[in-house]
Structure 1
Amino acid sequence: MNVLVAEDENDIRNLLKLHLEENGYTVFTAVDGLEALAIFRSNSINIGIFDVMMPRLDGFNLLRKIRETSQMPVIFLTARGNEMDKVLGLGLGGDDYLVKPFSMAELIARVSAQLRRNFEYSDNNQMMKSHLNVGNLYLDEDGCCLYVNGVLVELSAKEYLILQFLMKNPDKVFTKKQLYRQVWEEELYYDDNTIMVHISRLRNKLEADPRNPEYIKTIRGIGYKFQLPKVP
């Protein structure tokens, strides 16, 4: 597996490279976002580990560029404890984050978990031969894509899995923790913000009015449900 590490602090970058290589990964390193983007465009990268604060091109803008062509998992590293930084990173399409200082064992575990889920998701999708059609939504499980009113709407892997699960369980209420277990398949790093951000992104993509959603309803104090359209 090829890992791209973008970190401007030499000690941290070298330590990440050392531990990742000890665990069998091939590691590409960059000192800033522009160098990382060039490496990404010229190599087959399976996962990115990006510092948020970097010269020339920061981690958030690096992710924006990468998301134009790839849905590979990305883990953010940040020295900030600001909750909004975490929300912004997830909102841009990031998959996970670690606040410095962190243990290398935890980082390796998260890299492994992200890669496992990403490849299991891809393998499982190749075996799917069905679709889900509700209202103006058509979820193509063969192509793993969503059509809204016949128009293709691109989803990230996590968005797809959340929507697929909700559409297969209409009118059932799920807590944020239940959704997290289903899609991320873990409880150790559970965070309400992760689910909230992904639900918000989904609504922006499939709802005519995200502030008054027709399909993904918030059940106050509990969680969310996928509501079937009412029959006139």
Structure 2
Amino acid sequence: MANDTTRTTAPARRRALGRLGIVVGAFAGATRWLASPAQAQDKALAPTPRDAEGPFYPRTFPADTDSDLTRVAGRAGVAQGTPLMLAGRVVGVDGRPYAGATLELWQCDVFGTYHHVGASGKQDDDFQGYGRATADANGGYAFRTILPVPYGGRPPHLHFRIAHARARSLTTQLYLKGASSERGMGTFFARERDRLEIAPAPAQGSDAATLAAGYTFVLEAA
């Protein structure tokens, strides 16, 4: 939360890194859908469609901004909702990884409330609401969060902003497969929702309640 100024302790940080290690490990045997640089160079990849940023990008950032949104530094609780592990890669249209790309993720909590200035309604104080990740040498990233929920006529979605010095910044949203329709919003949001869908499934090597999904973000060169 924005008003939680407790710094992450070393043990807490190690626990967070351990949890993210589980995220990466869970995808170790399930990444065949990720095009390797050598494969992708044979055919240009289509850039990931852009989508609206929306009004809830943080005005002030929480003290804890790591890539595990299900826990907040200094709090013992765990976020309510279905755990979701999301991992994938950030690449260019030529399939080459954008190592060091910064990914930002923000979403509402299980009650449909964003942790945002002026937010009203019930909130889950154990949900971080916003997190960052840095792509590794292969463009890989991983987040642990919760399955998004609908609110106010909007389908469940995750907000993303991805940036790299050699690429055009991308702001977009990811939706759940088969649940990306918008009610009464005309053409304001992306038309290419079929390319912005994820299909969560039970995560291998984790508890039965945890889901996992993958997505490759394709950026255009700057």
Same fold (TM over 0.5): no
The interval holding the TM-score normalised by the smaller chain is: under 0.3
- Higher relative CO (Cα under 8 Å, sequence separation at least 6) belongs to 2
Higher-Rg member (1/2): 1
Higher normalized helix content (fraction of residues): 1
Q: TM-score, normalised by structure 2?
A: 0.24
